Amino acid sequence: MHGPRPPGTALVRAPGPRLADGIVTRPGGRPVDLALAARQHAAYVAALRAAGWRIRAVAPANSHPDAVFVEDAVVVCGDLAVLGRSGEPRRRGEVPGAERAVRELGLRIERIKEPGTLDGGDVLRAGGTVYVGHGARTNEEGICQLAHLLGGLRVVPVGTSGCLHLKSALTALPDGTLIGLPERVDTSVLPCMRVVPEPTGAHVVVLGPEHVLMAASAPRTAARLAADGLRVTSVDIGEFEALEGCVTCLSVLVP
């Protein structure tokens, strides 16, 4: 007799020695504790593993402080992996390691080409629709290239304001319901959105049909989702939040 099928593979990349030099766009940041960040990342990976995901480590990119935010380097949809091309040139060297990882998984490889720019943190799939944030890291040409590569899926550009990536302000629950911060996105192109009581509550990683991963900094949102019957796993990622990261940034889930 076979056990339940694993949900898939989670690509992660450990924080490097230069993490504290990560790019921040908001003033007034605080120092990052590297040792604490390493422990928080290990706990995050453990939560993915406990939910049944196979863990695959992406090769380190220690000269790139933000490489731990592996989501930005590649977008995976079905058997296709689209390699990003960040609007922040200092992050483009993070892509080769991610490319090796998805190639080893046997995925088809495509890439965003100049003059297009695209970060994976701007790409949110909800059912048959892919929402793509149009902002500092992802431009119109990048969105057009992604739409062409994704073929039959509906691609909807979403303007963003006051946030680094679309998924800094908007994610989706297991049933496809959008959850987030309406003041930071162009809601005119979106269906109904569930508004969260705290900013970090906008960040949800779907681990299974009724299971989500969230940051410990969003307890009120977590309580509401649990009251709705979802299983909620919370992890402390405070050192990554100090670098404008969130739970979605730290992995690429390949079902």
Mind listing the pLDDT tens digit for each residue in 77-120?
999 999 999 999 999 999 999 999 999 999 999 999 999 999 99
Q: Is the pLDDT of residue 18 over 60?
A: yes
Residue 4 pLDDT grade (very low, low, confident, very high; cuts 50, 70, 90)? low
Mean pLDDT of the chain: 96
Distance set, CA 55 to CA 42, 74, 120, 132 (Å): 11, 16, 19, 26
Domain boundaries, the chain: 9-15+29-254
Nearest to 60 by CA among 16, 103, 20: 16
Determine the pLDDT at residue 26. 79
41 is catalytic: no
Q: According to CATH, what is the number of the domain 9-15+29-254?
A: 3.75.10.10
144 is catalytic: no
Element (H, E) at 54: strand 54-57
Determine the pLDDT at residue 5. 66
Geometric angle at alpha carbon 87, from 63 and 42, rounded to 5°: 45
Q: Is the pLDDT of residue 6 over 60?
A: yes
| Average pLDDT, integer, range 229-255 | 97
Q: How many whole angstroms separate alpha carbon 248 and alpha carbon 6?
A: 20
Choose the catalytic residue: 77, 163, 246, 249: 249
| Average pLDDT, integer, range 190-218 | 97
Percent of the chain with pLDDT over 90: 94
What spatial distance separates the first Cα and last Cα of the chain, rounded to whole Å?
22
Determine the pLDDT at residue 1. 46
Distance set, CA 45 to CA 87, 165, 218 (Å): 28, 22, 19
| Average pLDDT, integer, range 161-182 | 96
Determine the pLDDT at residue 2. 55
Determine the pLDDT at residue 101. 98
Where are the alpha helices (H) located in 13-94, listed in sequence order?
34-50
The values of phi and psi at residue 160, to 5°, are -125, 155
Choose the catalytic residue: 64, 165, 203, 246: 165
Q: How many whole angstroms separate alpha carbon 15 and alpha carbon 43?
A: 13
pLDDT in tens, 105-164: 999 999 999 999 999 999 999 989 999 999 999 999 999 999 999 998 999 999 999 999
Q: Is the pLDDT of residue 34 over 50?
A: yes
Q: How many whole angstroms separate alpha carbon 9 and alpha carbon 32?
A: 29
Determine the pLDDT at residue 57. 98
Determine the pLDDT at residue 30. 87
Determine the pLDDT at residue 29. 76
Q: What is the 3-state secondary structure (H, E, C) of 119-145?
A: CHHHEEEECCEEEEEECCCCCHHHHHH
